[in-house]
Structure 1
């Protein structure tokens, strides 16, 4: 029996999504500051992909499992999804505080694993939480509001990096040490990670499960520990078997899209060392300005995409946005001016807004309410599997096929975005699911 959900006001949807600000601030630091920290601590460029394997592995394991477990959870006091993203935010907060204090490369890599566990524990129950609360007609607004906070969180993270370098930087880089100006960005992230989640938790009550769902949850609690342990794995396997054809087609888009994004995040700092002659600190600051620019665009256009997708269909807007991202990546290596190189990020920002909103609203409409958590986890598996493939394969590709040249790496990523855009045109959705 499907629960009838009341429409929420704009500000109720806003408050519900505030927690994404903290989660995405953390993600923004992972995009722009983690790899420079690895470089500061002595990592070579060709091992950057494998050092980032924590994200794909933890995302592959943690998100679908937590999503499936949260589907079978209910507490009158704490709710269904909230306990998971509260614990995840607390883990993330502690790791962000400790990260710039890393005394060695192995310590920073270990912290990245724990940070990714926390972020993944928070992420998928949060996406399911939004789907739980909103009626179908408000899902596009809900997920594009998420996209707005994705842009805002990453924007703040990256702006803090180059602003703090400007205010507190200077001096020569010391091999094996993280510059002090990077500390402040991580300390702010530590605060935002828990504070913004608490805002959403306190402002947004969860909808109690239906009688049928409560009966299923009680039945689940009566199982033996071993049976409950095995159940999420069984449910994931069954959900994959029953997965709508649309999601299989989307997985092909995601394979090329997320492989390419991981290349961009890992090699944008090395690119500026090569094309502009910057040292690592200067290159990291320029990369942060790039990310700030595209996330400003994302924040501005996120909600504008709602009427556009309603008029032209999510598939068309999504495909065009991916193509625009490809244009940005082909253009960036050809510009050596640190100001003019920001202009292509307008296209990148539009693409990022589409990637962070449109697929989630499409999927949320076509999967059953009682399995939304596990399907949102599977959707994340479609993100982290390409990232895992990239971390394992791109190091040798970069070294042996691309001549260890970061310019070639960016062109490679642009080509993958063109393929993703072409595959996006194959996303067959009915009119009601656009």
Structure 2
């Protein structure tokens, strides 16, 4: 049941403060997405092994998200609140991992640190989604998620460009030495760890939280023990709202596409545009930096689109906006494998950015109105199963498909990802969204 006490309408700056932590979270997430395959390849991974090594990230999310969601639902501290303890602990873990990642000298070390980094990101990120549902009335939830998307875009733009900034403007070496990670990547991760922590602390100290409606009942429920908690977690899987089940299919195909993009764009661009598959070569590292620029473009577009999407949703509907954005993004991603001029690679990233903005906004806005307030964090965590499961499926299958169907040409894998994203857009038409798309 939703709380009976009306939620006050928040000002622009209150929305800003409660969302600013996402700037730091995305700093870490963008560095991970743009550089993990590059680091793995530099440390000796073959292209068909990359998807398997990336499994660390979604498997961690699969384990962490519903547990953290449940725990944050059942936490209350008069000073720290409900979600903010998890913001802080996740930021601390992720920041440490960001400092460790570029100092990995062996492949297995980098894979292990990816586990730690993704766990920290998930511990911080999942309660942030529930934070919007906690604090905002339905009429402001789309705007709340859009503000998060804005900060996600801004953080990703800067983080994705950092290796290029260090190389081109600060004279830092972009060449691997003795098989290690280039200094450009190393310094980018150091900056990312610092920004992640500081941005999350901003939200922790500038935002407050509403206590549970019935604090005594909340405390009684909290004291029921570990076995009861596990039972509640498992029981929730069988009572998901219908809207959540429908969105699960949309998320599944959306995230297969995104996972393919994050894993294979560097190797595809290195082969198709820079003419190399040698991860130790200077050309390959140049390709890695250029992929950072490409990812900065789609992230920048998403930051701008975040403020346009709620307006379009009011004029049409949230699911129509999501359908259109995913189809545009899918066609754009699929076109990457046909491009051999690096300047032209910016164009499809505009379409991908439009899709990314919608992926980060519309499903959560649609879902928030269909969830019980007392289990907002838990169901947001469960919902992210439909992000992690497709990534696990991709990790197990994309390497095989790339090797045996595409003869190792990862550009074709990107085209497959584009088709998957377009399919997700079509499936959105069957999603039920009863709430008004108010800002």
- TM (norm. structure 2) is 0.94
Give the direction of change, closer, same or farther, for the CA distance of 1:431–1:112 in structure 2 (3 Å limit): closer
**1:329, distance to aligned residue in structure 2 (A):** 1.4
Residue ranges of structure 1 left out of the alignment (5+ in a row): none
**Which residue does 1:183 correspond to in 2?**
186
Q: SS state of the match for residue 302, structure 1?
A: helix
CA distance in 2, matches of 1:175, 1:287: 23
Is this contact kept in 2: 1:85–1:123, CA < 8 A?
yes
Give the direction of change, closer, same or farther, for the CA distance of 1:116–1:431 in structure 2 (3 Å limit): closer
**1:221, distance to aligned residue in structure 2 (A):** 4.2
**Which residue does 1:115 correspond to in 2?**
117
Is this contact kept in 2: 1:22–1:197, CA < 8 A?
yes
1:106-145 alignment runs, 5 A limit: 106-145=108-147
CA distance in 2, matches of 1:230, 1:402: 48
**1:270 paired to 2:274:** no
Which of these residues, 314, 318, 321, is aligned with residue 318 of structure 2? 314
Q: SS state of the match for residue 179, structure 2?
A: coil
**1:56 paired to 2:53:** no
CA distance in 1, matches of 2:228, 2:55: 27
1:384-395 alignment runs, 5 A limit: 384-395=388-399
CA distance in 1, matches of 2:12, 2:320: 26
Give the direction of change, closer, same or farther, for the CA distance of 1:274–1:136 in structure 2 (3 Å limit): same
**1:149, distance to aligned residue in structure 2 (A):** 0.8
**1:157, distance to aligned residue in structure 2 (A):** 0.7
**1:215, distance to aligned residue in structure 2 (A):** 2.5
**Which residue does 2:413 correspond to in 1?**
409
Is this contact kept in 1: 2:298–2:350, CA < 8 A?
yes
Which of these residues, 4, 19, 22, is aligned with residue 21 of structure 2? 19
**1:172, distance to aligned residue in structure 2 (A):** 4.8
**Which residue does 2:74 correspond to in 1?**
72
Is this contact kept in 1: 2:270–2:288, CA < 8 A?
no
CA distance in 2, matches of 1:416, 1:389: 13
**1:171, distance to aligned residue in structure 2 (A):** 6.8
**Which residue does 2:242 correspond to in 1?**
245
CA distance in 2, matches of 1:189, 1:143: 23
CA distance in 2, matches of 1:293, 1:232: 43
**1:199 paired to 2:202:** yes
Q: SS state of the match for residue 236, structure 2?
A: helix
CA distance in 2, matches of 1:402, 1:36: 21
Runs of 4+ in 1 over 4 A off after TM superposition: 169-172
Is this contact kept in 2: 1:73–1:217, CA < 8 A?
no
CA distance in 2, matches of 1:237, 1:332: 41
Residue ranges of structure 2 left out of the alignment (5+ in a row): 277-282
**1:85 paired to 2:83:** no
CA distance in 2, matches of 1:50, 1:171: 26
Q: Deviations over 1:345-364 (max 9, x none)?
A: 11111110000001111111
**1:244, distance to aligned residue in structure 2 (A):** 1.4
Is this contact kept in 1: 2:139–2:437, CA < 8 A?
no
**1:419 paired to 2:423:** yes
**1:430, distance to aligned residue in structure 2 (A):** 2.4
Which of these residues, 302, 305, 317, is aligned with residue 298 of structure 1? 302
Is this contact kept in 2: 1:40–1:175, CA < 8 A?
no
CA distance in 2, matches of 1:221, 1:248: 28
How many residues matched? 428
Q: Deviations over 1:344-399 (max 9, x none)?
A: 11111111000000111111111010010111001111110111111111111111
Q: Deviations over 1:288-312 (max 9, x none)?
A: 1110111111111111111111111
- TM (norm. structure 1) is 0.95
